Structure formats: structure tokens, C-alpha cells
Amino acid sequence: MTSWHEYVGVSHIHSTDSDGSKSVPEIIRIGQKTGLDFLFFSDHMTLRSLHQGLEGWHGNTFVLIGYEIHDKSSRNHYLAFNIDEVLPGEFSPQEYVKEVNRRGGLGIIAHPDETRVLPQFPAYPWTAWDAEEFDGIEIWNQMSEWMEGINKLNMLKMFVSPRRYLTSPTPKTLRIWDQLNKQRKVFGTSGVDVHAYPYGIGPFKLIIFPYEVQFKSLRTHLLLETPLSSDDQIAKKQIIDALKNCQLFISNYRWGDAKGFSFYAESKDRIAKIGESISSQDNVTFIIKTPQKCRIKLLRDGTTISEGVGKDLEYSCQKPGIYRVEAYKGKKGWIFSNHIWLV
């Protein structure tokens, strides 16, 4: 059996540095109370809290501070981490993707296929697919999915129990992500995109998704070879390297704590974990274990090749391709892994 160190946190948080409703220190305290190992902040077009020295360890919670870039028309949202200054606002998406990469940063396409039903909330999908050097994609964005599901009839129910309405990443985004990974490694991650601002729609005005609730929904699980260092700079590099290497899976905590989920491939002399590749020369067995009973699906190149209900699934083959796992509780998406490459 293989062993790795799992760290669980939340990505894509907005604070009062832009359009969120609590300050970075207040949100950090909520993250600590929730027991999260890391928090990734990405306010719109500002690195204020980074420059105030808030990045790094806060007790047992590591805080990474980047920012959310948009183009001149407020579109093509891109999360940039490990970058010291805000790039010029007139950059095109192709230019900022390239520049973040050139500066050694980490770049994630945010809510790539966002569509929205209510006219008062416009959609901000990603359209610059000819940009080439992004590192990851938000395959599941809580705010987008929630806003897409809302209509005049279900509005009140959606407001009262927002997490119940999350189903799963969209097939379109998953398809794009799978296709990209046939060419090169692009990690898939989750974003809560939490602002927690009061929404006023018709007679209703209330805070949707307070931070406490958001932190118990879409979570990012990083798998590291060694424990996170107590040194801020080393820990930051460990986190960024794990993301770039696709060593992660995402989950919706609403349907159960996914901590302890494992997916790996085993051949006679080697084990490959999520984000790694393994040779198809030998027979390879994919081994999936989930902490709770669910419907487990193993996919190759985006197509389901094996599925079952339970807490584990095994599948042996030698066919090259990109393999990943989806786990469902009923119809609701629970766990989505990154890929293992059979080459």
C-alpha cells in the first residue's frame, strides 16, 4: 500500500479586499475553527493582504494569497497565485496567462463555462481557450452552479439551503478538461467563490452562503509525499507543486467527509497515485477506496469503463489512456479525482 499526506482546504475565497463580506483575518479564523488545512484567497484585482504579510501559516491553517484577474470587459476570470504584483489591467487573457506562467506563478481558469438564468447576475465564462500556459481549471465552482440552478420558482428553497442544490461539475467542463489532459497535465480543482454578500432579489435580502457554510461544501484535497513544512516558503512551494502535478481530488463535504479517499494504480513493481503515470507494459490494477458507501465510477478518456456501489472498486487492464474517478451519493456528485496516466 502506498501512503501520502492528505491536506484539505478551500479555494477561491473573496474578502473585503474586494467584494466579499468579511476581512481576511476574520475568514482565517472561520477556516481555523472549521479545521481546514489551507485557504486560498483570490480577491478581484488586488493583492492587498499579501502585501500586508498575511500569507503563510496561521496556527494549523496555511493561507495562500493570490488574486482574480479579469480582462478589460470583466470577463475571462483567472486565479493567479505565487505572484508578487497585480499585472497591468489592459492585458488580454492570453497575455495574463502567459505572464503569470513566465513569473513562475500558478494560474487557474475560474468558472470556465458559467451560464446564468437571472438577468441581474451576468455570466463570466472563459472564452480564451487559445491561451496555452494555464496550470489548472476550476472544474467545479459552487457559486456558478448555484446561480445556474436558480429560477423564480425555487428561489426561496435555494436561498434557505444552498448546498443541497449542488449536483456535480458540468459535462462540458469535464470534457474540455479530459481533452486537455490528453495533451498535457492540467489539474482540475474546486472553487467556492465565496463572497457572502447579501443578495436582494425581489423581497428577499439575506446572506447566501455565509463563510461557515461555504467551508463545509466544495473542498480541495491535496496529496503530498511529505508533510507540509512549518516554513512558510517551503510549505507554499509544496502546495503549488502538488497542484501543478495534479496530486489532488475534490469533494462536496455536504455529502460526507471524503478524507481518506484513495485512487491508485498498481503493477508488479510500481504504484502510481493521482497525478502520476504508469507503464502499460504490465497488467495494471486500478484500486479505488472511499470512506463511505457510494456509487463509484472509473473513467478512461472521459468514458465510464467500470462502476459499482460500495466502498471500493478494482479494475485491471493494459489500455493506455487517462483514468479518473467520480463518486456519487445518489445523483449528487461527491468526489472527483484528478487523472492517472497509463502510458
- Asked if 172 and 125 count as a contact pair (C-beta separation under 8 A), the reply is no
CA gap 284, 21 in Å, rounded: 49
CB of 229 to Zn ion, least distance (A): 29
CA gap 36, 221 in Å, rounded: 10
Nearest residue to Zn ion, using CB? 77
- Residue 37 or residue 193: which is nearer to Zn ion going by CB? 193
CB of 68 to Zn ion, least distance (A): 5
- Residue 55 or residue 68: which is nearer to Zn ion going by CB? 68
Q: In the complex, which residues of this chain contact Zn ion (CB under 5 A)?
A: 68, 77, 110, 193
CB of 138 to Zn ion, least distance (A): 9
- Residue 42 or residue 337: which is nearer to Zn ion going by CB? 42
The 3-state secondary structure of 282-318 reads: CCEEEEEEEEEEEEEEEEECCEEEEEEEEEEEEEEEC
CA gap 275, 338 in Å, rounded: 6
- Residue 111 or residue 300: which is nearer to Zn ion going by CB? 111
CB of 131 to Zn ion, least distance (A): 16
Q: Which residues contact 3 (CB under 8 A, 6 or more apart)?
A: none
CA gap 108, 95 in Å, rounded: 14
Q: What is the DSSP string of 175-239?
A: HHHHHHHHHS--EEEEE--B--PEEEETTEEEESS-HHHHTTSEEEEEEESSPPPSSHHHHHHHH
CB of 96 to Zn ion, least distance (A): 14
CB of 116 to Zn ion, least distance (A): 12
- Residue 112 or residue 333: which is nearer to Zn ion going by CB? 112
Backbone angles phi, psi at 8, to 5 degrees: -120, 130
Question: 304-334: buried (b, 16+ CB within 10 Å) or exposed (e) per residue?
Answer: eebeeeeeebebebeeebbbbbbbbbeeebb
- Residue 127 or residue 233: which is nearer to Zn ion going by CB? 127
- Residue 89 or residue 227: which is nearer to Zn ion going by CB? 89
CB of 243 to Zn ion, least distance (A): 17
- Residue 78 or residue 261: which is nearer to Zn ion going by CB? 78
CB of 124 to Zn ion, least distance (A): 5
CA gap 111, 124 in Å, rounded: 7
The three cell numbers of residue 251 are 469533494
Residue among 265, 323, 252, 262 nearest 290 (CA): 262
